[in-house]
Amino acid sequence: MLTPPVTPKRPIQRKHHGDVVVDEYEWLRVKDDPAVLAHLHAENAYTKARTDHLSLLTEQVFEEITRRTKETDLSVPTREGAWWYFTRTVEGLQYGIHCRVPAGEDWEPPVLPETTGDELTDASYEALPGERVLLDENREAEGHEFFALGSFDVTGDGSVMLYGVDVEGDERYTVRFRAIDGSDREIDDVLEGTAAGAVFDASGRYVFYATVDDAWRPDTIWRHEIGTSRDADVRVFTEPDERFWLGVGLTRSRRYLVIEAGSNVTSETWLLDTADPAGEFRVVWPRKEGVEYDVEHVIAGGKDRLLIVHNDGAVNFELVSVAADDPQGARRMLLPHNPAVRLEGVDAFRDFVAVEYRRDGLPRVAIAKVPPQGLPDDATPDDTLHELETDETLYSIGVSGNPDWNQPTLRVLGTSFVTPTKVMDLVVETGERRLRKQQPVLGEYDATRYTQRREWAVADDGRRIPISLVYREDLVQYGTPAPTLLYGYGSYEHSIDPSFSIPRLSLLDRGMIFAVAHVRGGGEMGRLWYEDGKKLAKRNTFTDFVAVARHLIDEEVTASDRLVAQGGSAGGLLMGAVANLAPRHFSGILAEVPFVDPLTSILDPSLPLTVIEWDEWGNPVDDPEVYAYMKGYSPYENVHGNHDGGSHYPPILAVTSLNDTRVLYVEPAKWVARLRDAGADPLLKIEMAAGHGGVSGRYAAWRERAFAYAWVIDRARAHPTGE
C-alpha cells in the first residue's frame, strides 16, 4: 500500500477581530525552506506512483491531441502599416516563430500556395515571398525549463522591435531590442524586471513600460529613450492606491498614448498626445468609486472625439462620445443603457466602429460606419449599428487582430463547442464576409456527430442557472446517465463562452458529456449576474454549481458515480467549496491552481494581489462581517470529516505551480494536508518550473492536459479506449 507524505504540524496562530485560528500547515508558505521543497517533491513522487496506472491512457490522449493538431501551421497574417505579421508553428518545436512580409496595395493577406500531401512536416516549412523571421521563441527558450513572451512590439516604421521574456514563471520580464532593418543586430539596451506590455511610442524613439511594487503590482509607468542608460528613465506615472494596476499603450490611431489605472470596480484613463511624448498625461475622467470606463479615439466630422464605454449610472454600461480636448464636457449618448444587454467594449477605426456586447448569455458584435461629416444630432443606434448574424444557437463571436487604423475590414473570430474557430474578415463597406481560415482538425472530425445544447437549473433562491453541454450523439443517449465533466469558474465577471477544443475531443469520443455551469459571479448574464456572486453574495457561486450538478443528476443526464467537477484559479476556490458542500455529488474533483485558502491570503496585504482583491471578495482585515463570511466558505477552513470518522470526499486532484504569483502553491499544499486529516484521499501535483498558466511550450501543455484528462476519464468511468 502506498502511503501519502506526512505533513508535519507546526502550529501558527492567526488572530483577527477577536477570532483565534491555529493553522498547522502555514509553515509550508516558506518557499525557500529546504523542508518545504522536500515535502513538495515527496508529494509529486506520491502522485506519480498513485497515477502510474494512467500512464498508458495519458499517452493515448497525448497522441490523440498531437494527431488531431496541425503542428506545422501559419496564423492568418495581420496587417499593421507596411507589413503583414504572423506566427508560425513547426512540428517538433514547442514555441511560435514570429515573422512578417511586406504588404502591397491591397488588404488581401498572403497565403501559402496550394499544396498536396504532407510536405510541411518535421522542422521545415515553405516560406512566403519576402518572409523574414523577427523572433524565434524556440531559440530564446533554449536552456530554460520555462519560457513566456510578455511583450512584443515593433516601431511604426518597422525598423526596431522589442520583446520581453519570462524564464521563471513569475510574470517578470526582461525586455530586449533588436534592429530589423536588415542587420538583425541586438541593440545594447536591456530593461529587466518589467511587467508585461511594454510598447513603443508613435515615433519609435521611446518605450513606455511598467514596473511592480513589493506586492508585484504594476504601479509605475516609465519612459525610456532607446539606447540610453536606464538610470535616465523618467517616471511618468505612479499609482499609490494598492487596489489599482497600471497598463500603458497606444490608441489604434496612434494619436494618443494611454495609461490605464484599474481596480476590480473602478478605473481611470490618462492620455498624452503622441506629438509630445515627453509631455504630461492628462486625465479623461477623474476616478469615481465603482465607475469603470474604457476609451477609444475616433475622428468624426474632422474632429477628435473619444468614445467611452462606462457604467456611471448604467449598470450594464452605455456608450457616449465626448470632445477629445474637453473630455469632461458635454456627453453625447450613442448607445444608452439597456438592462437586457451588457455592453462590453468598442473598437474604433478610421471609417467604422465595432461594438461588442452580450445578450441572452451570448456574445455579439455589431458594426457602425463613421460618416465623414459626423453623426447628425437626431441619429439613433438603429440608424448605424448592424449586428453580425450567426447560424448556431450556442456560439462565440468576437473582434480580434485589428491593429491598423486605416483597415477597410474587421477581423472577427467565431467558434462554438462543435465548430473549430473561424477567422473571418468582414468588408465593412459591402458586408461581405471572407473566411480566411478555419482551425484545422486532422483526422476524420465530423461536426455533425456532436450536439450542443442549453439547459437551465434552478438555484436554491429560484434563479435559473444556464448550463451549456456538448456530446457525441452516437455515444450518448441523452437522459441515460453518461460520464460527465462539469466545468465552472464564476468570478471577476469572466464569461465561459462556447469554444472549440481539440483536447476535449478525447473526452467526447469516449462517450463523455462536457458541461459548463454558468454560475453567478461570472458575466454571462450581465453585470448584475456578476454582482450577485461576489463579496457577501459569493456563496451563490457555490450553490449555483451544486444546483447544476443536482439538476444533471436528477434529469439522469449523468449520475454521481460518473460526474467529475473541474475548475481553476478562482474556479479552484469553487471546487474546494463544492467539495465541502456536496461531496457525494461527484466521483472526482479536478482543482487547478486552486484559490482554496482565500481568507489567509486576503488577510495579508503584503502578499501579491491581496489589496487588489478586496474589491472582489471584500476586506476581511477591516470588516468583521466580511471576515466571518469568508471564513464560513473558505475551503481550507471548512474541511470536515464524517461523524463516524470516515471521509465523504471524492478523490481530488490538485494541480499547482511553484512559481505562481497569483495563487501561491501553498494554498493547495495546505488544503491537501488538511483533507488527509479528514480522511480524504487527495493528490497534489506541483509543477516545479511553471507559473499560473502552468507549464510552457505547447507539447508540455498538451501532455499536462492529457494527464488531467486521463484522471478525469478514469474517475468518470468513461470507456478507456474510446470504443
Give the amino acid at 708: A
Place of cell 483565534: 20
DSSP per-residue letters across 517-555? E--BTBSTT-HHHHHTTSGGGTHHHHHHHHHHHHHHHHT
Backbone angles phi, psi at 610, to 5 degrees: -60, -55
Q: Which three cell numbers stand for residue 268?
A: 481611470
The answer to whether 56 and 69 have CB atoms below 8 angstroms apart is no
Torsion sign, CA atoms 54, 56, 57, 62: positive
Q: How far apart are CA 609 and CA 662, in angstroms?
A: 7
326: DSSP letter: B
Q: Give every CB contact of residue 248 below 8 A, 6+ residues apart in sequence.
A: 197, 199, 208, 209, 210, 221, 257, 258, 259, 260
Beta strands in 17-167, from DSSP E residues, in sequence order: 19-23, 73-74, 78-80, 83-89, 97-102, 132-136, 148-154, 160-166
Q: Is 224 a catalytic site residue?
A: no
- Which of 297, 692, 696, 714 is catalytic? The answer is 692
Q: Which three cell numbers stand for residue 460?
A: 436554491
Give the amino acid at 396: S
- Which of 294, 615, 660, 714 is catalytic? The answer is 660
The answer to whether 114 and 147 have CB atoms below 8 angstroms apart is no
Q: Which three cell numbers stand for residue 593?
A: 491552481
Place of cell 477597410: 408
Distances (CA, A) of 140 to 148, 246, 554, 637: 10, 27, 53, 43
CB atoms inside a 10 Å sphere around CB 646:
11
Residue 367 host element (H or E): strand 362-369
Give the amino acid at 5: P
388: DSSP letter: P
Q: Which three cell numbers stand for residue 408?
A: 477597410
Q: Is 569 a catalytic site residue?
A: yes
Distances (CA, A) of 71 to 94, 118, 416, 442, 694: 10, 11, 22, 10, 21
Q: How far apart are CA 711 and CA 713, in angstroms?
A: 6
Q: Is 660 a catalytic site residue?
A: yes
The answer to whether 58 and 710 have CB atoms below 8 angstroms apart is yes
Residue 405 CA from chain centroid, whole number: 26
Pairing of strands 588-592, 652-657: parallel
- Which of 569, 587, 601, 696 is catalytic? The answer is 569
Pairing of strands 563-568, 588-592: parallel
Q: Which positions are catalytic?
A: 569, 660, 692
